[in-house]
Amino acid sequence: MKQGSVIVRGVGSYLPRKILTNHELALMVDTSDEWIRTRTGISQRHIADTHEACSDLAYMAAKNALADAHLQTEDVDLLIVSTITPDMIFPSSAALLQAKLGLRNVMSFDINATCSGFLYALEVATHLLQNGKSYKCALVVGSEKLSSIVDWKDRSTCILFGDAAGAFILEYTPAEHVGILDSVLGADGSSPEKLYCGSLQPTTTITKHFMKMSGQEVFKNSIYWMRKAVEELLERNHLTKTDIACLIPHQANLRIIQSLAQSIGLPMDRVFCNLEVTGNTSSASIPIAFAQAKNSHYFHSGDNIILVAFGGGFTWGATLIKWP
């Protein structure tokens, strides 16, 4: 294994222009702005155009991340896209993005780990950069067009989700103990019916499927697994909650985030939230929140930042970053 670390060299995000407010949703299903804001903390979400696919959203976020890193496409030698809403079953959205960006013919592949997918992708990219002889710079993107799998007649889910993409440029550096330090990741696939998109029965044809969710079950599991992941991450890195300068959680529901912070014993002024304007964008949510936090100087050099996510599967993860 090489010495050195993997740092976040650049960040980028992209939110489609069209905004769908709670008030507009209340004209589509039996709900209200007040119910959505009180139960979720969300006021609006962005919705992609019909002609915009996952790889198009990813392209915009990737361009912004490359610009932020002051790098060119030829500098990238690994591409991973995390998504549950790929343009098509295959080719992967990563392969399509490779061509759209005009990258060299670098290894490009998708990861599907729902809302935890970006943290799974970071783990894979970090290990390849740290251990692989030929990788120095990775583009990791979380990109979702959730509006394409939302049932717009189901008020229990359609109020939650939005479309967006976020991207990191990761780079190997010989410096020690900075950047992405550690991750705790897990999965429990024993209750797929709690949150899924597809058929739970074997089918012979591919049909259009919508996302289905048992909200309260997901809510409870989400707090439980995210707390466990953060605690394990702190323990094995000999840190305590007072060492966390900034927690950037998956932006699913403000009540989930508040309960998580309370269970860890972290004040909310150390927890970054932007779901009010984005809604839940699944694997795009953490890189978008991170980009916004970075650009608003929410964290500083030397800070310990923890990213934490939970999603369908169930899957979960927590990642520790020391900001250089």
Active site residue 250: yes
Q: Which position among 250, 253, 273, 304 bears the catalytic label?
A: 250
Query: Shortest Cβ contact with ligand UT7: which residue?
Result: 215
Q: Rounded to an integer, what distance in angstroms lies between the CA atom of residue 45 and that of residue 279?
A: 5
Q: Based on CB atoms, which residue is closest to ligand UT7, 247 or 256?
A: 256
What are the helix (H) ranges across 22-116?
22-25, 33-40, 54-69, 93-101
Element (H, E) at 278: helix 275-278
Q: Based on CB atoms, which residue is closest to ligand UT7, 161 or 172?
A: 161
The minimum distance between CB 320 and ligand UT7, in angstroms, equals 21
Number of Cβ atoms within 10 Å of the Cβ of 306: 26
Q: Based on CB atoms, which residue is closest to ligand UT7, 34 or 243?
A: 34
- Cβ-based burial of 129 (10 A; exposed 0-12, middle 13-18, buried ≥19): buried
Q: Which position among 54, 115, 137, 273 bears the catalytic label?
A: 115
The minimum distance between CB 271 and ligand UT7, in angstroms, equals 16
The minimum distance between CB 58 and ligand UT7, in angstroms, equals 19
Active site residue 115: yes
The minimum distance between CB 252 and ligand UT7, in angstroms, equals 4
Q: Which of 82, 83, 65, 185 is nearest to 137 (CA)?
A: 65
Q: Based on CB atoms, which residue is closest to ligand UT7, 154 or 182?
A: 154
Footprint of ligand UT7 (CB under 6 A): 31, 35, 39-40, 115, 155-156, 159, 195, 215-216, 218-219, 222, 252-253, 256, 280, 311
Q: Which position among 64, 221, 253, 280 bears the catalytic label?
A: 280
Q: What is the DSSP letter of 105?
A: S
DSSP 228-273: HHHHHHHHHTT--GGGEEEEEE--S-HHHHHHHHHHHT--GGGB--
Amino acid identity, residue 86?
Answer: P
Which residue numbers are catalytic? 115, 250, 280
